Amino acid sequence: MPDPSLSQAIKEAYAAAPSDVVILHTLELRHPSFVDDDGNTTAIRVVRDHADLTARLESGAPLDGGATVTFVALAFDLSLPPIDTAPVPEITVTLDNVSREIIRHLDAAVATQDKIEITYRPFLSTDKEGPQMDPPITLVLTEVEANALQVTGRARMLDVGNKAFPSETYTAKRFPGLAR
The residue length of the chain stands at 180
Q: List the strands of the sheet with 137-146, edge to edge.
A: 53-56, 68-73, 41-47, 23-35, 116-124, 137-146, 150-156, 90-96, 76-78
Q: What is the C-alpha separation between 51 and 167, in angstroms, rounded?
A: 44
Count of structural domains, the chain: 1
Q: Is residue 3 part of a domain?
A: no
Do 45 and 136 touch, CB atoms closer than 8 A?
no
pLDDT of residue 101: 82
Q: Does 47 fall in a domain?
A: yes
- Torsion angle of alpha carbons 104, 155, 61, 6, nearest 10°? 140
Task: Report, in angstroms and rounded to the nearest whole number, the Rg of the chain calculated over CA atoms.
Answer: 19
Q: In the chain, what is the straight-line distance between the N-terminal and C-terminal CA atoms, in Å? A: 55
Reported pTM: 0.78
The answer to whether residue 25 sits within a structural domain is yes
Spatial distance between the Cα atoms of 76 and 39, rounded to a whole number of angstroms = 27
pLDDT given at position 161: 56
Inside any domain, residue 2: no
Instruction: Report CA dihedral (77, 22, 73, 131) to the nearest 10 degrees.
Output: -90
Is residue 148 one of the residues assigned to a domain? yes
Query: Considering the domain boundaries, does residue 100 fall inside one?
Result: yes
Judge whether 149 lies within some domain.
yes
∠ CA 139-143-148, rounded to 5°:
110
DSSP string, 121-160: EEEETTB-SS-SBSSPEEEEEEEEEE-SSEEEEEEE---G
Could you tell me if residue 57 is inside a domain? yes
Residue 1, pLDDT score: 46
pLDDT by position in tens, the chain (length 180): 467 778 888 878 877 777 888 999 999 999 999 988 888 889 999 999 999 999 999 999 999 999 999 999 999 998 776 666 666 677 888 988 887 888 888 888 888 888 889 999 999 999 999 998 888 888 888 788 888 788 888 888 765 555 666 667 778 888 888 887
CB 28 within 8 A of CB 119: yes
Expressed as residue numbers, the domain containing 135 is: 8-178
